[in-house]
């Protein structure tokens, strides 16, 4: 294998499957509720005789035996203590046809032999088992197996000795099951409800399951399938249909995350009936899904080993590529187990078996008459080259991706080709494939085909996965572009959740790139739509919280204290909705502490008169879970007496310690915070932005419309400059000043003026007093104006002429990248709706 090839660190199979395909797992919520404790169950079994509840114990034992041993049991009749029949329960005969095919309330099939059961609460259980076995042996009905279930603990040595002795004496097989077995079956196999119901155990609250919509549908479907299987001969025309029904029950059971023995029991019944039908394809299909389920849901690869040994003889006659694909998937499980050190490669004959599978695929490529089968087999051969166990010195990732691209291109006219499944595999491996220069070509093709087949919303989800892979690879600007594409593609009512998620991700990446204005623009889009979204309330609150918190952070970095408080109020409201929904929120405690620390640091740069303007917000800071911010505002505003008692009580210290605390904090605050912090107290507002290595310092008048325009301008500049089309341009590392000023004589759209000096370049934008009223009816003209301002600033940043930058902008406009960068402008209405028009200035007290 090439030395630079990265091998993934494999998690547990079930964790990997849940992460990649969460829709295949239960969506129910297991609410926190007291469960039946082992000590309580053991105590209840120990004291049954004291309460004279022997009859309850017999019902409990029979129910557990029906679930764990065999379902065809008759309840005892007659007097207590065994009744006239000398047994507490016994099996009843079932015809072979019904026995093999009917569903009996448990995946385990009934037994054809005669079994007898005896249940006992007596403390002297050894004498009781001898007596019961003797009575059963004297009956006219002859039993082959006798189970004795006791509420007492039985020592292993004593139990084994008695089982051997009684089996030899009475010529039937004796099994003794004790309290340990009962407790294990109840607590380990989720049988608590049986114990609670039959033994009438009082628990504070019974375990409760809040079933999700998918699980509700699955349970209804499972109930319908099982009801039909209770009368299989009336509902299915052949054993093929019965086997398929049991397999469908297995699928539903695993998605409901029912106990393993139930899920695997359905697949075992399906395999058993498939063998009787002698349908080769069905035998392979049932065995494969049994192994697949045990590996990916229960982390047990041993079933795959057993299954492959059983079905290997059918590989040479596999009728199509889909059948061979099942063999290949089983082999991949075995290879992974070898890679994890669980099994030996040579013992499993993996090289030999892998060669046989590839040989069969080559036969299908060369000889099969169906074009779809040939192309599917060719695709699988290409995918096989990506497997770590296939890699050697001749490994060529670029060539493999070219082959896959060719297969996908040729599949466009073939209806039965499983394109979605194959493209999902490529996207799932994108973290490892993205280093190849051929990845962009295959992804662009997948994106085009996905859009044609499934629409733009599915395409947007695909772009989010690409962005996540790019982000993991450290290619942040490309990741941001992918997220913006996803946001733009899904920006419609039915795709709002996807669009908001993409905006949130793009905002996070832009912050990592040091582009706070582009981040703010994406977060503003996400917050506005999350807060008015009518979808799932948890999701809208989640994204509302994340994006509002990001807006608070970006405004705090620009020194906008008033708007920071407003955004934090919105984030806190969303946070409270999540808290009420019992969503785990402990992880956010650290985030709030970091935000509060940064806010308090900025407070120390203000003078007393300026801090006093924040005093009206003190109670709001307390409500937002920012108590130290409230104390800091009051202390710095000279209101020490009003907060000293509460502060000293909270920290259990005296007033001198409090004064020393604030003095030490003030001395530790770094100097040189941006002057933008102070401009919110005057008639001008400053903000900064970054275009590659150039710093933009923007100054505008302190009114709502001009500030919004300035934010749109800086966000657009940072977003456009991050595009890869500008990678070849070299930044001049200079300071660029942008001044936005109002002029009563100006007309819309705003005019662009230049002023150069030896120290910096200045771009002045003259706007009319009513230009914000002009924007809604002239949005395209406004966007063109933003592009012209961007060209002017980028010419200064890159030291190039106007025509060169304009040409690059024209290239950008040929794609949706241009529209993506401008899609979030005109944000006046969004800001006003969420935090009000007075959000940017602190009024004098």
- 100-149 pLDDT, tens digit each: 666 655 555 556 778 899 999 999 999 999 999 999 998 888 888 999 99
Burial tier of 629 (Cβ tally within 10 Å: 0-12, 13-18, 19+): buried
Looking at residue 5, its pLDDT comes to 43
- Would you state the structure tokens that stand for residue 21, as one six-digit string? 């395909």
Looking at residue 678, its pLDDT comes to 42
Q: Domain limits of the chain?
A: 38-207, 301-383, 584-674, 678-835
Report the candidate in 114, 118, 121, 123 with the shortest Cα–Cα distance to residue 166: 118
Quickly count: other Cβ atoms within 10 Å of residue 671's Cβ. 5
Looking at residue 804, its pLDDT comes to 79
Looking at residue 822, its pLDDT comes to 64
Report the candidate in 481, 501, 610 with the shortest Cα–Cα distance to residue 546: 501
- Gap between the Cα atoms of 825 and 823, Å rounded: 6
What would the pLDDT profile of 522-539 be if each residue is shown by its tens digit? 998 888 888 775 455 556
* Residue 674 pLDDT grade (very low, low, confident, very high; cuts 50, 70, 90): very low
Q: Tell me the average pLDDT across 648-667.
A: 88
* Residue 762 pLDDT grade (very low, low, confident, very high; cuts 50, 70, 90): confident
Q: Which residue has better confidence, 756 or 789?
A: 789
790 to 689, 720, 814: CA distances (angstroms)? 12, 8, 17
Q: Which residues contact 229 (CB under 8 A, 6 or more apart)?
A: 101, 102, 103, 235, 242, 245, 246, 249
Q: Which residues contact 661 (CB under 8 A, 6 or more apart)?
A: 653
Percent of the chain with pLDDT over 90: 28
Q: Is pLDDT above 90 for 284?
A: yes
What would the pLDDT profile of 689-742 be if each residue is shown by its tens digit? 888 777 888 888 877 888 888 888 888 888 888 877 677 777 666 778 888 888
What would the pLDDT profile of 433-492 be if each residue is shown by its tens digit? 888 999 999 999 998 988 888 888 889 999 999 999 899 989 998 999 999 989 988 888
Among 3.30.420, 3.40.1350, 3.10.590, 3.30.160, what is the CATH number of 38-207? 3.40.1350
In the three-class reduction of DSSP (H, G, I as helix; E, B as strand; rest coil), residue 306 is classed as helix
Q: Is pLDDT above 70 for 210?
A: yes
- Gap between the Cα atoms of 264 and 268, Å rounded: 6
Q: Is pLDDT above 50 for 502?
A: yes
What would the pLDDT profile of 579-625 be if each residue is shown by its tens digit? 655 554 555 667 778 888 888 888 888 888 888 888 888 888 888 87
* Residue 81 pLDDT grade (very low, low, confident, very high; cuts 50, 70, 90): very low
């Amino acid at each position: 294998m090439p030395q630079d090839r990265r091998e993934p660190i494999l998690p547990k199979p079930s964790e990997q499957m849940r992460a990649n395909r969460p829709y295949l797992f239960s969506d129910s919520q297991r609410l926190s509720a007291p469960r039946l404790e082992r000590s309580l169950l053991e105590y209840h079994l120990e004291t049954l005789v004291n309460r004279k509840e022997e009859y309850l114990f017999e019902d409990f034992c029979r129910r557990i035996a029906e679930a764990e041993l065999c379902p065809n049991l008759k309840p005892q009749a007659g007097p207590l203590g065994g009744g006239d029949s000398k047994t507490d329960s016994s099996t009843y005969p079932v015809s072979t046809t019904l026995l093999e095919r009917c569903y009996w309330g448990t995946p385990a099939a009934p037994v054809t032999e005669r079994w007898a059961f005896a249940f006992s609460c007596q403390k002297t259980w050894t004498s009781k088992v001898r007596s019961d076995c003797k009575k059963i042996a004297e009956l006219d009905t002859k039993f082959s197996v006798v189970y004795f279930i006791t509420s007492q603990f039985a020592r292993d040595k004593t139990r084994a000795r008695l089982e051997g002795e009684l089996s030899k004496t009475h010529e039937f097989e004796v099994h003794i099951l004790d309290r340990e077995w009962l407790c294990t079956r109840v607590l380990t196999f989720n049988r608590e409800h049986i114990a609670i119901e039959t033994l009438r155990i009082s628990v504070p609250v019974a375990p409760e399951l809040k079933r999700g919509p998918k699980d509700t549908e699955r349970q209804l479907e499972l109930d319908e399938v099982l009801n039909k299987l209770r009368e299989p001969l009336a509902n299915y025309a052949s054993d093929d249909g019965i086997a398929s029904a049991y397999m469908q029950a297995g699928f539903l059971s695993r998605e409901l995350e029912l106990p393993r023995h139930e899920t695997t029991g359905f697949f075992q019944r399906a395999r058993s009936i498939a063998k009787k039908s002698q349908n080769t394809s069905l035998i392979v299909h049932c065995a494969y899904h049994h192994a697949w389920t045990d590996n990916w849901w229960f982390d047990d690869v041993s079933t795959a080993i057993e299954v492959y040994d059983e079905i290997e003889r059918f590989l040479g006659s596999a009728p199509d590529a889909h059948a061979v694909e099942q063999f290949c998937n089983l082999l991949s499980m075995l290879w992974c187990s070898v890679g994890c050190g669980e099994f030996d490669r040579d013992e499993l004959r993996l090289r030999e078996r892998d060669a046989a599978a590839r040989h069969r695929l080559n036969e299908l490529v060369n000889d099969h008459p169906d074009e779809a089968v040939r192309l599917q087999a060719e695709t699988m051969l290409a995918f096989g080259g990506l497997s770590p166990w296939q890699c050697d010195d001749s490994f060529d990732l670029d060539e493999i991706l070219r082959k896959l691209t060719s297969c996908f291109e040729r599949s466009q006219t073939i209806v039965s080709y499983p394109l979605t499944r194959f493209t999902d595999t490529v996207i799932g491996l994108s973290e490892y494939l993205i280093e190849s220069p051929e990845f962009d070509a295959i992804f662009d093709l997948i994106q085009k085909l996905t859009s044609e087949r499934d629409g733009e919303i599915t395409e947007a989800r695909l772009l989010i996965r690409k962005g996540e892979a790019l982000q993991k690879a450290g290619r942040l600007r490309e990741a941001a572009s992918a997220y913006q594409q996803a946001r733009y593609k899904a920006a419609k009512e039915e795709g709002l959740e996807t669009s908001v998620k993409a905006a949130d991700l793009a905002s996070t990446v832009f912050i990592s790139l040091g582009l706070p204005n582009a981040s703010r623009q994406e977060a503003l889009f996400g917050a506005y739509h999350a807060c008015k979204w009518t979808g799932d309330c948890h999701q809208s609150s989640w994204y509302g919280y994340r994006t509002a918190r990001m807006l608070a952070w970006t405004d705090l970095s620009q020194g906008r204290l008033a708007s920071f408080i407003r955004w934090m109020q919105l984030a806190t409201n969303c946070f409270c909705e999540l808290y009420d929904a019992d969503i785990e929120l402990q992880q956010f405690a650290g985030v709030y502490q970091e935000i509060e620390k940064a806010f308090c640091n900025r407070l120390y740069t203000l003078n007393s008169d300026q801090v006093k303007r924040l005093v009206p917000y003190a109670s709001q800071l307390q409500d937002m879970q920012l108590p130290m911010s409230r104390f800091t505002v009051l202390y710095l505003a000279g209101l020490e007496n009003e907060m000293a008692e509460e502060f000293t009580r909270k920290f259990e210290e005296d007033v001198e310690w409090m004064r020393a605390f604030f003095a030490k904090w003030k001395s530790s605050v770094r100097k040189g915070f941006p002057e933008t912090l102070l401009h919110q107290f005057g008639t001008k507002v400053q903000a900064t932005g970054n275009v590659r290595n150039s710093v933009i310092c923007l100054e505008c008048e302190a009114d709502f419309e001009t500030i919004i325009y300035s934010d749109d301008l800086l966000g657009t500049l940072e977003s456009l400059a991050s595009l890869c089309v500008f990678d070849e341009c070299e930044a001049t590392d200079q300071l660029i000043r942008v001044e936005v000023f109002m002029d009563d004589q100006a007309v819309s759209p705003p005019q662009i003026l230049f002023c150069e000096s030896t120290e910096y370049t200045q771009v002045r934008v003259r706007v009319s007093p009513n230009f914000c009223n002009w924007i809604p009816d002239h949005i395209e003209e406004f966007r063109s104006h933003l592009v012209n301002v961007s060209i002017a600033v980028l010419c200064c940043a890159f030291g190039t002429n106007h025509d060169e930058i304009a040409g690059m902008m024209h290239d950008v406009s040929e794609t949706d990248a241009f529209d993506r960068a401008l899609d979030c402008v005109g944000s006046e209405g969004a800001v006003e709706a969420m935090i009000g028009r007075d959000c940017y200035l602190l009024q004098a007290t």
